[in-house]
């Protein structure tokens, strides 16, 4: 009977570890998707603004960071 309880505890611990690792992988993938989305948006905006107005890249970065901060 004690062996059954130990086996159940071992199985539950293993399941919990798999779930935790799976959630970590999903969170990492979501962060990657968001990072790539921000990179694409920044790149497109940089291309549009530098081509049309000759904006200083430092000012562009400052404005983009302000917008990201305001999105929170």
Alpha carbon distance 62, 45 (integer Å): 13
Q: Domain range holding 39?
A: 1-71
Task: Check if the beta carbon of residue 29 is closer than 8 Å to that of residue 21.
Answer: no
Query: Phi, psi (5° rounding) for residue 15?
Result: -60, -45
CA angle 20, 25, 8 (to 5 degrees): 25
Residue range 14-69, pLDDT digits in tens: 999 999 999 999 999 999 999 998 888 888 877 776 555 556 778 778 888 888 88
User: In this predicted structure, what is the pLDDT of residue 27?
Assistant: 96
User: Taking the mean position of all CA atoms in its chain, how far away is CA 69?
Assistant: 16
pTM of the entire predicted model = 0.54
* Total structural domains within the chain: 1
**pLDDT at res. 54:** 55
CB 60 within 8 A of CB 49: yes
Q: Give the pLDDT confidence score for residue 16 in this predicted structure.
A: 97
């Amino acid at each position: 009977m004690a062996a059954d309880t130990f086996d159940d505890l071992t199985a539950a611990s293993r399941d919990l570890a798999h779930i935790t690792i799976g959630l970590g992988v999903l969170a990492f993938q979501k962060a990657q998707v968001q990072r790539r989305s921000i990179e694409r948006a920044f790149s497109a905006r940089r291309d549009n603004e530098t081509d049309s107005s000759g904006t200083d890249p430092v000012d562009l970065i400052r404005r983009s960071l302000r917008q990201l901060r305001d999105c929170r």
